[in-house]
């Protein structure tokens, strides 16, 4: 059996002239601390966008649950084989359509155990022409993803896990920060507490459409994909 990739309109690496997703470039697992999100907080769980989509779209729930069933109890070698096959097919699709090789890890879910995150690191190193990006609250696994040149990793910070984020960031200064607040000012205050600045997500801020014939919001912006800076997210878009 194979892992299943997903289409995500916000993060798509290739868009048709009609403004539709052209290549599936996102991978997900079911959200929640009872599944793949050991670092979930009381701040993120009630507003989890991916979790809400799981409940709305049955096909999405089926796909991410399928993925979790394949990797949750597998050994590291088996996980790496599954991930490698998936990323290889993604690369082939990009080459066929002359698309940029941008891959979003966990449009839903998170790194949930060491052998899983280590397998991801091995696969990313095996595919140096693909630029990967991910957000995580699994701070205890961040070190296992270090020294991966083609990965941009963001610590997902909120008011509940702020102190843990400060500690993780001090130990792993190579990561970027993604702050979530009820407003952009709330998110800004979190990064100020960490001694850094960040830019508002332009899609949430209304500066870029989710998707258009010119590309997806994330691909057009590039801030998170290429780690150009820290980012602010607002659950209210205000």
Q: In this predicted structure, what is the pLDDT of residue 55?
A: 67
DSSP tag of 27: E
pLDDT at 12: 97
- Runs of H (alpha helix) within the chain: 49-56, 58-71, 76-97, 114-126, 162-171, 184-193, 217-221
Output the tens digit of pLDDT for each of the chain's 238 residues.
999 999 999 999 999 999 999 999 999 999 888 889 999 998 887 777 666 656 665 777 899 999 999 999 999 999 999 999 999 999 999 999 999 999 999 999 999 999 999 999 999 999 999 999 999 999 999 999 999 999 999 999 999 999 999 999 999 999 999 999 999 999 999 999 999 999 999 999 999 999 999 999 999 999 999 999 999 999 999 9
What is the rounded CA–CA span in Å between residue 150 and residue 132? 6
Maximum pairwise Cα distance, the chain: 46
**Phi and psi torsions of 116, nearest 5°:** -75, -50
Per-residue confidence (pLDDT) for residue 104, from 0 to 100:
98
pLDDT the model gives residue 57: 58
Reduce the DSSP state of residue 178 to 3 states and report it. Answer: strand
Q: Distance between CA atoms of 227 and 87, rounded to whole angstroms?
A: 21
pLDDT at 184: 97
Determine how many CB atoms are found less than 10 A away from the CB of residue 209: 16
């Amino acid at each position: 059996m194979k892992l299943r990739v997903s289409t995500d309109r916000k993060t798509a690496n290739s868009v048709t002239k009609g403004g539709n997703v052209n290549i599936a470039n996102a991978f997900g697992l079911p959200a929640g601390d009872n599944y793949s999100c050991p670092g979930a907080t009381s701040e993120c769980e009630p507003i989890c966008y991916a979790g809400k989509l799981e409940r709305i779209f049955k096909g999405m729930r089926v796909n991410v649950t399928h993925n979790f069933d394949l990797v949750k109890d597998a050994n590291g070698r088996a996980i790496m084989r599954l991930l490698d096959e998936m990323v290889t097919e993604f690369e082939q699709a990009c080459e066929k359509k002359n698309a940029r090789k941008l891959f979003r890890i966990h449009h839903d879910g998170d790194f949930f155990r060491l052998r899983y995150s280590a397998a991801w690191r091995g696969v990313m190193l095996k595919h140096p022409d693909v630029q990967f990006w991910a957000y995580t609250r699994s701070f205890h696994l961040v070190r296992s993803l270090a020294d991966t040149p083609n990965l941009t990793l963001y610590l997902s910070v909120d008011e509940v896990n702020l102190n843990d984020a400060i500690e993780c960031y001090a130990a792993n200064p190579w990561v970027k920060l993604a702050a979530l607040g009820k407003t952009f000012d709330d998110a800004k205050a979190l990064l100020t507490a960490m001694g850094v600045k960040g830019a508002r997500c332009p899609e949430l801020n209304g500066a870029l459409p989710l998707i258009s014939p010119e590309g997806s919001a994330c691909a057009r912006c590039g801030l998170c994909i290429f780690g150009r800076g820290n980012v602010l997210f607002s659950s209210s878009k205000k």
